Chains A and B, each alone.
Chain A
C-alpha cells in the first residue's frame, strides 16, 4: 500500500492485527529504503546484524536513539532535494536535532496531521487564535519545532490572530475584537502548554479579578510541548483544564504528544484524557534493563514509529520519555489503537519540548 492510500484510511479505524500488518509492511519498506540511501544508517544496521526477514511485527523494526539526530546529519535524499530543515527545541547551549525534509516527506507530514486533527475538530476550518507571539515564525531559514507546530496547525485557521505580542504580553484589544467578529462561531485555539499557562491563563485570571472576562465557551484548544514546568508548579492535567474553564469557559481541551523528529504523527488526547496512536504511527514502551517491550500498564521508555519519513531515517526512534500503555482498541472514546500516557522525561535526559525549553527561562 502506498502512503497516499494509507491516508485514505480513517486514522483510528484499524484494530490491532490489521494495524500491525499495515504498519510493519510500511516500516520494513522504509528501513530498506533508508539502508539503501543513507550510508550512516546502513552502517548502523550492519553493526546490529539487521535481518529484514526477522521483522514480523512493529516491535521488530530496528530503532535509533533520538539523540543521534543531534550528533549526526542523517538524510536519505541528496542535499539539493531538501526543502526544509527542522530543528528540535532545546535550551540555550543544548545540541538540537536537525531533521531534513524533501517535498514528499514535508507534504505527507502536513496531510497526516490534517487527517489526525480533523478527526477531532471536524474538517471545516475555523477562526483561530494562536496563543503565542508572531516572532516565532519570522525566522524562516531555520525552522524551530515551535514555529513548525504553529504553522502546521495554521492550516485549520480561516482567520488567524496571535494573541501574544513579541514580549509575550496578551493583546487584550485584538482578542476582544477578534471574538466580537467571530461571535457564535466555533474557534480553534492553539499553543504550547506552559506559554498558555504563564501568558494566557494567568493574565485572564488577573483580568477576571478586575472584572474583565472573555468568553471562549465555543473554543477548542489544542496544546502540546511538555508538562515539566507545570508539574513542578503542581498543576495537574485536570487542574489545567478546570482552571482554564474557570477563566474563559472553554471545555474542549486536547493535549498532544509529538516530536519534531516525527512531525505529522501527533498523538492527540481524547475526551477521556488518553493520548492515542493513529494508524500512521505507534508507541511501544520498553524496559530499561534490556529494552524488551513492556506489558500494558507497565512503565517504560517510549519508542515511537512513524510511517511518514522518507527523507531521513527517523521512522523508528527510542525517545528519552517515559510512559505507560493504558490499553489497545478499547478506549471508552471509541477510537481504536493504543492509548497511553506520558510520565515525563527519563532522569538525566536533557530538557526538550517547546513548552519545557521555554519554561526553563522561568526558573
Chain B
C-alpha cells in the first residue's frame, strides 16, 4: 500500500466512511469526527506511520487535506 492509501484507510476505518467522502472532509463535518474521534484518528495515524505528533499539530489537524500537509512536515517526513 502507498502512504496515501494507508492515510485514506485510517480515515475510512476510524470514521466508517467511504473513499468518496474524504476530499474536503473537515473536523466536525460528520458526527464520527468529533473530539473523541479526533484522538482516535491521531492514535491510528501514529501507529500506522510510526510517528508521534506534537500537540500543536494535533490541534491544527483540521481537515483531510490539512493532515496531509502536517504529515509532510520535516519532523514526520510522510509524503503522501
Contacts and interface: CB of A to CB of B under 8 A. Distances in A.
B54 A123 contact: yes
Contact of B56 (A84, A114, A137, A156): A114
A103 interface: yes
Contact of B35 (A106, A111, A118, A123): A106
Contacts of B1: none
- For the side of the interface on A, what is the size category? 20 to 34
Contacts of A114: 55-56, 59
A111 B59 contact: yes
B52 A155 contact: no
Contacts of A103: 27-28
Contacts of B54: 123, 125
A155 B58 contact: yes
Contacts of B31: 140
Interface residues of B, number: 17
Contacts of A158: 46, 52
A218 interface: no
A107 interface: yes
B22 interface: no
Contacts of B56: 114
28 contacts: A83-B28, A83-B34, A84-B35, A106-B35, A107-B59, A107-B62, A110-B35, A110-B59, A111-B59, A114-B55, A114-B56, A118-B55, A123-B54, A123-B55, A125-B53, A125-B54, A125-B55, A140-B31, A140-B34, A151-B35, A151-B36, A151-B39, A154-B39, A155-B55, A155-B58, A156-B55, A158-B46, A158-B52
